[in-house]
Amino acid sequence: MTAYAFRRKVGLSFVLTLVLLAVTAFIFTPTLSAAGEAIENGDRNVSWVCFAAALAFGFGAIGAGMAISNVGSAAMGAISEKPEIATNALIFIALAEGLVVFGFITALMILGKV
């Protein structure tokens, strides 16, 4: 695979991810009826709270995905050369997965302020 083909595939996957994110936002946004009712009643702070919680969880998930992609590929390469270190490699993958848990907990703490 040439460098151009690789860049094209990465760019296409990035654009596809953004499109899916936008479609998902339009699907799930109307379900925030409590926030919508609060905004109609004049309380605009609820929309900012929901936005902050979404950012906290979103960045946590993106960070975890990036960490797992790097750690996972390195772990699989190391396991292919030395199979006895598989348990150690899985521990590092689990540590990277902890980032999304922190983002989720932060989002719940933010939403608890509503």
Tell me whether residue 52 is in a domain: yes
User: Are residues 47 and 73 located together in one domain of the fold?
Assistant: yes
Handedness of CA 31, 17, 100, 50 (dihedral sign): negative
The tens digit of pLDDT for each residue in 29-49 reads: 655 555 566 656 666 677 777
Q: Is the pLDDT of residue 113 over 90?
A: no
Region 82-107: mean pLDDT is 88
What is the CATH classification number for the domain harbouring 71?
Answer: 1.20.20.10
- Give the pLDDT score at 15: 92
Q: Are 110 and 49 in contact (CB under 8 A)?
A: yes
User: Are residues 19 and 50 located together in one domain of the fold?
Assistant: no
Tell me whether residue 37 is in a domain: no
- Give percent of the chain above pLDDT 70: 81
Please give the full DSSP string across 18-86, using - where no structure is assigned.
HHHHHHHHHHHGGG-HHHHHHHHTT-THHHHHHHHHHHHHHHHHHHHHHHHHHHHHHHHHHHHH-GGGH
User: Are residues 18 and 59 located together in one domain of the fold?
Assistant: no
User: Are residues 61 and 92 located together in one domain of the fold?
Assistant: yes
- Give the pLDDT score at 25: 75
- pTM strictly above 0.85: no
Total of domains in the chain: 2
User: Are residues 10 and 58 located together in one domain of the fold?
Assistant: no
Reported as a pLDDT band with limits 50, 70 and 90, residue 81 is: very high
